[in-house]
Amino acid sequence: MIRINLLPYRAARKKENIRFQLNVFIGSIVFALLAVFWYNSMLNGRISDLNDNIRSTKEQVAKYQAINKEIEEIKKTLALLDKKIEVIQSLERDRKAPVQNLDSIYQLLVEKRMWYTQLEEKGDTFKVSGVAIDNQTVADYMTRLEKSDRFQNVRLVASKQYKLKDKEDLSLKQFDVNFQKKTTNPQTPAEVKKK
C-alpha cells in the first residue's frame, strides 16, 4: 500500500489561509485608512467652503453696515431739511398774514364816517384806535368785526368825546377796540380746490 503524507499540504494550506487572512486584514486596514482620509479631506473641503462663506458674509455685512451708516446720515439730513422746509413754509405763510390782516381790517372800515389813528398787533390780539363821526358808526364797525370770518372777541375798551381844535362845534367819537384773530384761518378758494 502506498502512503501519502498529506501533512505538508495541510500545513501549506494552513499557511495559505493565514496569509489570505493577513492580506484581508491589512487590506481592510488600508481601505479603512483610505476611507478615513477621504472623509477627512471631504470635511476639510466643507470647512474651507464654510470659512470662505463666513468671510464673504462678514465682508458683505461690513459693506452693508457702512451703507446703513450712510443711509442713517442721509435720513438725519433729510429730517433736518424737512424741518428747515417746514420753517420756511411757516415763515412764508406768516409773512403774508400781517398784510392780509391789515387788508381785512381796512376792508371793515366804515368809509367816510371813521378813520384809524393807531393799529397795534401783539400775537393774535389787535388794538385799534380811531375816530368816528358818532356812536352808531363805532357800533357798525364792531358789528362788521364780529361778522368777519377772520376776527373774534370784539370788545369796546373806550369811547369818548373828541373835539377838533379848529372847529368847536364839530364833535367826534374817539374809540379803542380790542379783538383777536380767529384760530382757524379762512380758506382761500385755491386751498379749497387742493383738498
Using left for φ > 0, alpha for ψ between -120 and 50, and beta otherwise, residue 185 falls in beta
**Cα–Cα distance, 144 to 135 (Å, whole number):** 14
4 by DSSP, 3-state: which? coil
The tens digit of pLDDT for each residue in 100-117 reads 888 888 888 888 889 899
The tens digit of pLDDT for each residue in 33-54 reads 999 999 999 999 999 999 999 9
Contact by Cβ (8 Å): 131, 118 = no
Using left for φ > 0, alpha for ψ between -120 and 50, and beta otherwise, residue 115 falls in beta
Q: pTM of the full predicted structure? A: 0.49
Contact by Cβ (8 Å): 173, 161 = yes
**Cα–Cα distance, 1 to 154 (Å, whole number):** 157
